[in-house]
Chain A
Amino acid sequence: MRAAEAPGPAGPVNTPPVRLPDRRLLKAFRFDPMSSRLGGRHLTLDIPFETGLQPGPMGDLLHVVDYDPGHQRWYEPVDLDDPAILAQRGLRPSERDPRAHQQVVYGVAMSVLERFERFLGRRFRWTGGRQLRLVPHAFEGRNAYFDPDRTAVLFGYYRAERDDPGPNLPGQMMFTCLSVDIVAHEVTHAIVHRMRRYLSEPTNPDVFAWHEACADLVALFHHFAFRDVVAEAVAASRGRLQQGSALLDLASEFGHATGRGAALRRAVGSPADPEAFLRATEPHERGACFVAGVFDAYLDVYRGRIADLRRLATGGTGVLPPGALPPDLVDRVTVEAVENAERVLGMVVRAFDLLPVVDVTFGDVVRAIVTADRSLYPDDGLQLRATLVESLRRRGIWPTSVSSLADEALTWPRPARPLSLTEEPGGADLSALILAATRDLDVEAPMSAEHGATSQRDAEAHGLLASALRAWAGAHALELGLDPASAVDLAGVHVSYHQAADRQPRPAVVLQLVQRRPDLEDPHADPRGRLAVRAGTTVLARVDGTVTHLVTKPLPLSDPAALDAAPADVRAFAAALHEAGGRRLAAMRAWADRVAIADPLAVWTDEPVLRRLTFARLHAEQSEGMR
């Protein structure tokens, strides 16, 4: 629950009661203890005020669990509603007080979640209404990672080298949970996993790279959420305003102290080189190319947006006088930089609704961005979309299966023949879903459930809807690029309300359908341990049920004879996907072989190497990866 009239745990003190605030302010290091020490300043996190927040902190979305298995100790959980903490806008960050650590992970995670939610066009919650667990002192080691099995982000701690501590004190204890960037990065992994759970299966070199790119992008643009940080950078840039170098500096600062963003530091702001992307197989390297492309677009648009301010400030000469920039100019430029970050990040995050359910590639991401943005901003007045597509192209990232990079070619295809979620056979009643989603738009009301339940009635309604949609998908399998002879599972359904250029919301129903195909899996391997082979289709529909776009990841049909009975238009569509499915299957197998060959440990275990490739492993191995 968010801000409400409800009194705090201690009961009302004043009569009539004073309304609780909407926002909670907390402090964090800027952006980690080392750079805070050198810079001498802290960040102020501005997050929603959760009422009923328990010590931990434990809220609706996040549980901070400060158990340290290495020392077999619990550390005192912080109560952020303590008046002493409220009155000073959060505990002062300290490496020595575990409660400050808890505050940092909670505050940063909430800040990231809120920003994400803003772009999603709907309320965010974890699967089954559960919470993401944050464990600030989970293990001894130079790593931090999201663990999907535990629904937890685990942070390590370690001692700085005694011989070569870098900028740290020799032998000093280092905490990964105190780095704002690490927390933002890991929480984003958890969010991406929530929205596309099958992207934890690296079926091609882009899947984990996309995970990394998203996590880096959100963590990087999170820096631009702090107006005072941006303003300082702008002020420091003085006459170099036009180049946007201040923002580049801010970007390159990202991940510096932690060593986490090495690939990113090299990529962001580097000259665009398509070869770098084509060469890269390691997820961080590959993901960094995408992030760099997005950042190029950000800078391009930013430069365009501040050109008028510069002309105004220079009386049209374009030459800024030496010395400090006028504070008014700094303010206006800062506003542009911050808003522009929102726009660009928003464009990428909105694309999630249109990503494939499985086996995503960066080409798919480009198509999803264009499709989503085009439906909201058909005219692309700010040239954002065109700039982004071009920046990514310059870095070697474009869909290979399209005829051109024009909007029309990049947009996801429509169904072969008119298709509606409400149409027989199958046919679902979407009204309960739409009602629940609409109710959830009221941020001051408690949330209903999507999976799992806050109320029995919601759960039953959702169960009915899910089985109706499964039946519908089964009945229209060929039209959806799925196999009529295999069971269809519903991996997710939601309604989102994105605001379009005309400021009207555009409600849309998004379905994630998935099919596991044991008949195409490795018959040698233990069925419980082997790699799953899945097809998936994302269905985008209007709230009246009309399907507008299909995002297919097909597999060969188990019985191609099924095509014969289909009407001609469906047959042509399904036959093409059957063929594409054959190519996709071959590509996935070749990739699995390639990874296994590159992995020395594959000799010693029968667990498929792609299953052992986890976020934990990925983050431990930063620069080398597979050879």
Chain B
Amino acid sequence: MAARSSVSVRMYHVGFGDAFLVTVRRGRRTWRMLVDCGVHSQGTARPIREVVSAIIADLAEVAPAGKPPHLDVVVATHRHADHISGFGVEQWAEVSVDEVWLPYLEDPDDEQARATRSAQMAAAREVQRLALALGGPDRSTWPPGLALADALALNSLSNAQSMDRLLGRGSGFRTPATVRFLPHGDEPRTTLPTGLPDTVVHVLGPPRDPELLRRMDPPSAVAWLRLAGATAQLRGDGLPLFDPAYHVADGSVPAALAAVAPSLRLDELADEIDEVVNAAAGIEHSVNNSSLFLVLDVAGTRLVFPGDAQYGAWQHVLGDPESRALVAHPAFYKIGHHGSHNATPREYVESDLGEGAYAMLPWGLVKRWADSIPKAELMDALAEHDTRVIRTDEVLVDPHVEVNGTLWSEVTLTVG
């Protein structure tokens, strides 16, 4: 077999979002896959256009003379803006792409998937409508909870242009790409060849079992359902509750009552806002669980890309012995969901990840999430297992890691 084989993962510093260029070299042959390209509206490190330009420039540099920039595979793990917003950039039309891999939930011909997807989207739009109804037109006055709900909903929506390109509609890539919806129906996992010897990609998720699918449905709490679609005006229809004869004239509130009121802080009640925030977080969680869960296997060196799979989707993987063996002791792990709570099960770090793996944390500062993302316990647990974590905000001194200013970090692993 080829004497010199390697696999490298380049993490572009987009901010709060994912963009990974994976390059496998087997002898003189190479295979390139881009896993996601997007950034969250709340945490852009630089305009996503610049990142896309940089990726395409990097591809152009390695393309054979006279050939366009080329990718063997483009993966969009799930439809969140922080994973796909970059595909909206027009410059992608210059790049030739052989295949596009998407979670089966994006398959326009799969009825079940279509229903789940449209329920998610409808719920996200409903969150935005309610946020506006509850918060009023001036967003600067919104309480933090509403702003969070709106931001989460926005992350699920307004990615139509990116999805169109990925699905081969509209301007697409340089030449029409083959679109695969994964994993294939009725298979517990799908294994795809890359054209290189001993190099395959295993697709372990999203799951298709109905119980886990239910987790992808939008929240069904009764209070939320009552709110969603409520035709009654939610706030301030201005009508008094009672005849003005019952109103206490200003300044003539009985002293004893007036004295009690301030300690009640009644002006700070925010009941329905909490509902909307919880619903928004629920939708976000559902879409995360629709992530493509990939393992790239280069002659036994395995790289794990879980997308943003959260607890339910992870359980699906860890609960299947064969899938679990594929994610155990990887050489590389893409830390799920920006290092947040429950996107990397503690159990996985403790008993499967092994010692000394490389990991990448795609993360950019979003002030209001700074305390919870990345989760301190997760980072500590990774450190306990000597995981070599490559971050955008710290430089890891390591012979296998290369950093290009603030634009990207790259790890190169030797295979075989």
Contacts and interface: CB of A to CB of B under 8 A. Distances in A.
A627 B372 contact: no
Interface centre among B240, B274, B277, B380 (most CB of A within 10 A): B274
Contacts of B256: 54, 56, 58
A379 to B, nearest CB: 46
Contacts of A70: 236
A157 interface: yes
A141 interface: yes
B372 A75 contact: no
A603 interface: yes
Interface in A64-105: 65-71, 73-77, 96-99
Interface stretch (A510-518, A541-549, A557-565, A594-602): A594-602
Interface string B124-165: 000000000000000000000000100010000000000000
Given A74-B257, A158-B232, A162-B231, A621 B247 contact: no
A173 interface: yes
A142 B226 contact: yes
B106 to A, nearest CB: 21
B265 A150 contact: yes
Contacts of A605: 371-372
A621 B278 CA distance: 10
B221 A135 contact: no
Contacts of B380: 524
B369 A67 contact: no
A169 to B, nearest CB: 12
B266 A135 contact: yes
A426 interface: no
A96 to B, nearest CB: 7
Given A69-B269, A154-B269, A600-B282, A76 B248 contact: yes
Contacts of A76: 246-248
B220 interface: yes
Contacts of A67: 257, 261, 264, 266
Contact of A600 (B246, B266, B285): B285
Nearest to B278: A601
A597 B248 contact: no
A71 B221 contact: no
Given A157-B241, A605-B372, A620-B271, A597 B342 contact: yes
B385 to A, nearest CB: 17
B274 A98 contact: no
Contacts of A74: 247-248, 253, 257
A603 B372 contact: yes
A171 B230 CA distance: 11
Interface residues of A, number: 66
Given A56-B256, A97-B246, A605-B372, A156 B271 contact: yes
A55 interface: yes
A623 interface: yes
Interface string B260-292: 110111110101101101100110110000000
A135 B256 CA distance: 15
B221 to A, nearest CB: 4
Contacts of A600: 278, 281-282, 284-285, 310
B263 A162 contact: no
Contacts of B219: 624
B340 interface: yes
B264 A133 contact: yes
B311 A597 contact: yes
A150 B226 CA distance: 27
A152 to B, nearest CB: 6
B266 A69 contact: yes
Contacts of B49: none
B220 A624 contact: yes
Nearest to B268: A69
Given A74-B247, A606-B371, A627-B215, A173 B241 contact: yes
A160 B232 CA distance: 8
Contacts of B254: 54-56, 77
A603 B288 CA distance: 12
A73 B261 contact: no
A56 B257 contact: yes
A524 B247 CA distance: 51
Contact of B271 (A56, A137, A143, A171): A143
Contacts of B246: 75-76, 97-99
A163 B226 CA distance: 12
A342 interface: no
Given A71-B241, A76-B248, A627-B215, A602 B341 contact: yes
A621 B257 contact: no
A138 interface: yes
A622 interface: yes
A133 B260 contact: yes
B261 to A, nearest CB: 5
A161 B230 contact: yes
A163 B231 contact: yes
A348 to B, nearest CB: 28
A621 B219 CA distance: 11
B337 interface: yes
A622 B275 CA distance: 12
A603 B269 contact: no
Contacts of A99: 246
Contacts of A599: 281
A457 B41 CA distance: 63
B235 interface: yes
Nearest to B308: A603
Contacts of B377: 524
B145 to A, nearest CB: 10
A139 interface: yes
Contacts of B232: 158-162, 171
Interface string B375-392: 011001000000000000
Interface string A126-154: 00000001010111111100000010101
A73 B246 CA distance: 10
A319 interface: no
A625 B278 CA distance: 12
Contact of B221 (A171, A601, A623): A623
A606 B233 CA distance: 33
A190 B173 CA distance: 63
Contact of A603 (B221, B271, B337, B376): B337
- Residue from A68, A152, A620 with most neighbouring chain B CB atoms (10 Å): A620
A139 B271 contact: yes
A137 B248 CA distance: 14
Given A65-B257, A150-B264, A616-B271, A96 B342 contact: no
B109 to A, nearest CB: 29
A617 interface: yes
A157 B282 CA distance: 26
Given A65-B261, A140-B235, A596-B341, A622 B372 contact: no
Nearest to B370: A606
A603 B342 contact: yes
Nearest to A74: B248
A152 B275 contact: no
A69 B230 CA distance: 22
A63 interface: yes
B369 A604 contact: yes
Interface of B: 148, 152, 215, 219-224, 226, 230-237, 240-243, 246-248, 253-254, 256-257, 260-261, 263-267, 269, 271-272, 274-275, 277-278, 281-282, 284-285, 310-311, 337, 340-343, 346, 369, 371-373, 376-377, 380
Top 7 nearest A-B pairs (CB, nearest first) are: A600-B285, A74-B248, A600-B281, A601-B281, A606-B371, A159-B232, A606-B372
Given A154-B269, A616-B271, 17 more contacts: A67-B264, A68-B241, A73-B240, A75-B242, A77-B254, A96-B242, A98-B241, A140-B235, A157-B241, A159-B232, A162-B231, A600-B281, A604-B152, A606-B372, A617-B278, A620-B221, A627-B215
13 contacts: A63-B257, A65-B257, A65-B264, A69-B267, A133-B260, A141-B272, A163-B231, A597-B342, A600-B278, A602-B341, A620-B274, A621-B222, A627-B215
